[in-house]
Amino acid sequence: MRDDLRLGDAPLDDLPALCEQRLGVAVTRAQISTEGLRAASILDAERAAAAAVLSMDDLELSNNPRLTRVCLAHELCHLLFDPTKPGSVQVALDDADSATRTAKPSPGALLESRAKGFAAEFLIPHRGVSALLGGRADATSDRTEARQRVSLVREHFDTPWKIASLHLGNLGWIDRGLAQQMGDEGAGGGVSRPLSSLLCDDETPLLAQKLLATHPLDASLPADVLTRDDPPAWLDGVRATAAANARAALDLCLARAREALRAGRPRAAAFAVGERLDDYLLDADWPAAAALLDAIDVTEFPPAVLTAALVATRPVPDALQRTRTAFFGRAIEAMRARGALSEAELADIESRLR
Amino acid sequence: MSPRWRTDALTVPAAATLGPSPVHTHGGIAYLRSADDAPRHLHLAWHHVLRDDEALPVRTGWVEPALSAAALDDLAFAAELVSRRAENQSVPYGLALDRAHVDDRGVVKLEGEAGLTCATFVLIVFAKAGIPLLDRPTWDTDPDDARRAEDRVHQERLVQHLRRTTGAEAHAERVANEVPCTRFRAEEVAAATALTPRPVPYASAETAGRTLLRCVHR
């Protein structure tokens, strides 16, 4: 999306302005009577008008512009990528806990999980991190080094400590376990710059102000301003890029497994695949887990890799049931055809991991 | 067949461990890390102390497992999966085991139980690898009165230890409400890994567990 909007890898300066001026999404702060609701987004049935609403009662949000940036990016993802139903208005609601809560497996949780991931990558692009930190991601487990990296990234990209820490964990610059731990620790520190054009509480969004300036309320708004049947042309491109990135992550995982096999380390190959699946499951990213199971060539990998994939997906999440059952069948058949395991060993695998 | 307790270097991808502890015995899982075959010891040391150590504690050994090569690989993998989240999986201590498991997202899920013991933690990691070690209902029905009384005393001692653990005072009262309950001893869990067929009933595991105890306390 950064590529499509030609934003490069630099820190995003004025996110509300970006939402309003480049994407046509109205941004406003308002009093929300629903208790605990931090932000919401709404998209009309024709995909012609969209708005992100931030609560003006949320103290943390009011006091922390960095958090506001994350919320806006999060709502933007809902508006751009959540599945829509023709003829229906779409509303996404995000409460104050959703940023820290681990998503439970459900379609809604998947959308939340994706919005969190989008917000992190949109604000802290991996290429920008590489340029900032230099060298190669090495997943440091040294706490001092890790804190320095988080601090640098947080200041540069103007995000909260937690999101910087978690995202560096996801990008491989900090050990994931340590990143999660540090994310929970948090850190004090001020804000490097104000949120710029985000409006004062209850003010009319800039976009609406602009419309009203050219088309006062007593005049009818031209139809082409408020109706647009098709999503913007670049949206398909962004979706394709997202799919390509997901595929690249999957290919990288399989490449690592192959490399371990070439080095004569089947258990390391198994862990490379199983660890990736485990990550997807932790994030409740069932489609990604299913894609990985589908991508494993059962004739290429030894039993250790195939059974690791089965262990990682056990107990079987409902959303993965069909894909895993198919994978299980293919894996057993391939192991049998290879002849490396006895029937008793195959029966043992079947009874343990079906 | 008697289980073999060994204190030399681990020669299989994974195995149950057993050693002495101030309150009886302590068990975990020794495994070889996939990246470099470095030996690791994954164990629930105490309340909210899930550890993945570099070496086995003094006088702790591993039990030769009666598992297929594939099952051993899978067990090592399951242990490594759980261990990679060890820092974040804050597992409380508790006595009763009913439905706790590693869930479909790889998270240790207690399902309403107060927590796990070192032995029940081992059970659920084995279960993650698809290895049901114990015929658990026989622990409810087969132990005699003397054994039950012994277990109760032991469980009450553990509750006392919890009460003396900083920050665990309130949790200790919750665990106290679980006493008495079925107790799976660490030596029985470790012994079951060396026995077939599985799941192993109480009588077999108890006998083999006593054999292991003699080794540990020799």
Contact A275 B84 (CB under 8 A): yes
Structure tokens at A16: 């509300």
The whole-angstrom distance between residue B116's C-alpha and the CA centroid of its chain comes to 9
* Span B51-77, pLDDT tens digits: 999 989 889 999 999 999 999 999 999
Count of positions (residues) in chain A: 354
Beta carbons within 8 Å of B57's beta carbon, 6+ residues apart: B19, B26, B41
Three-state SS at A92? strand
Place of tokens 């059962």: A298
Closest-CA distance of chain A to residue B35, Å: 5
- For chain A, the maximum distance between any two Cα atoms, rounded to a whole number of angstroms, is 83
- Contact of B184 with B138, CB cutoff 8 Å: no
Q: Check residue A130 and report its DSSP letter.
A: H
- Residues in A closer than 8 angstroms to B70, CB to CB, are 303-304, 307, 341, 345, 348-349
Q: Check residue A100 and report its DSSP letter.
A: T
Nearest to B129 among A178, A311, A316 (CB): A311
Closest-CA distance of chain B to residue A353, Å: 6
Looking at residue A180, what is its pLDDT? 82
DSSP lists the bridge partners of residue A51 as A26, A42
The burial class, CB within 10 Å (0-12 / 13-18 / 19+), for B4 is middle
Q: How many angstroms separate the CA atoms of A37 and A31, rounded? A: 10
Burial A209-238 (b: 16+ CB within 10 A, else e): eebeeeeeeeeeeeeeeeeeeeeeeeeeeb
Beta pairing, strands B39-46 & B108-109: unpaired
Looking at residue A20, what is its pLDDT? 83
**Selected residue of B32, B52, B88, B104 to mutate for chain A interface (largest A Cβ count, 10 A):** B104
Give the DSSP H or E segment for B66: none
Looking at residue A26, what is its pLDDT? 85
Give the DSSP H or E segment for A234: helix A233-262
What was the ipTM of the complex prediction?
Answer: 0.91
Nearest Cα residue to A71 out of A54, A50, A58, A49: A54
The burial class, CB within 10 Å (0-12 / 13-18 / 19+), for A124 is buried
Low pLDDT (below 50) residues in chain A:
99-105, 188-194, 225-228
Q: How many angstroms separate the CA atoms of B179 and B159, rounded? A: 9
Q: How many angstroms separate the CA atoms of A133 and B139, rounded? A: 56
**Selected residue of B77, B81, B198 to mutate for chain A interface (largest A Cβ count, 10 A):** B77
Looking at residue A109, what is its pLDDT? 67
- Contact of B69 with B113, CB cutoff 8 Å: no
Beta carbons within 8 Å of A205's beta carbon, 6+ residues apart: A20, A26, A27, A28, A51, A199
- Contact of A56 with A31, CB cutoff 8 Å: yes
- Residues in B closer than 8 angstroms to A281, CB to CB, are 104-106
Contact B74 A352 (CB under 8 A): yes
Q: Check residue B6 and report its DSSP letter.
A: E
Looking at residue A202, what is its pLDDT? 60
- For chain B, the maximum distance between any two Cα atoms, rounded to a whole number of angstroms, is 48
Structure tokens at B180: 């008495």
- Which of A126-140, B28-42, B203-217 is the least confident region? A126-140
Looking at residue A103, what is its pLDDT? 40
Return the percentage of chain B with pLDDT > 70, whole number.
Answer: 98
Contact B73 A351 (CB under 8 A): no
Contact B13 A303 (CB under 8 A): no
Closest-CA distance of chain A to residue B32, Å: 10
Q: Which amino acid is at A163?
A: I
**Selected residue of A301, A305, A307, A335 to mutate for chain B interface (largest B Cβ count, 10 A):** A307
Q: Which amino acid is at A304?
A: A
Looking at residue A220, what is its pLDDT? 55
What is the dihedral angle through the alpha carbons of A37, A105, A281, A318, rounded to the nearest 10 degrees? -170
Looking at residue A119, what is its pLDDT? 93
Looking at residue A13, what is its pLDDT? 84
Nearest Cα residue to B63 out of B215, B218, B217: B215
3-state DSSP: chain A helix, strand, coil percent, rounded to 5? 55, 10, 35
CB atoms within 10 A of CB B155: 21
- Residues in A closer than 8 angstroms to B77, CB to CB, are 267, 270-271, 274, 304, 307-308, 311-312
Residues 85-104 of chain B whose Cβ lies under 8 A from any Cβ of chain A: 85-88, 101, 103-104
- Residues in B closer than 8 angstroms to A284, CB to CB, are 105
Contact A314 B130 (CB under 8 A): yes
Chain A and chain B share a number of CB contacts under 8 A equal to 97
Structure tokens at B80: 């490594």
- Residues in B closer than 8 angstroms to A314, CB to CB, are 104, 128, 130
Q: How many angstroms separate the CA atoms of B30 and B13, rounded? A: 8
pLDDT value at B169 more than 90: no
Angle at A145 between CA A144 and CA A148, to 5 degrees: 90
pLDDT value at B95 more than 70: yes
Q: How many angstroms separate the CA atoms of A224 and A69, rounded? A: 30
- Residues in B closer than 8 angstroms to A316, CB to CB, are 104
Average pLDDT, chain B: 92
Closest-CA distance of chain A to residue B66, Å: 13
- Which of A128-142, B29-43, B85-99, B201-215 is the least confident region? B85-99
* Span A280-308, pLDDT tens digits: 888 788 889 999 999 999 999 999 999 99
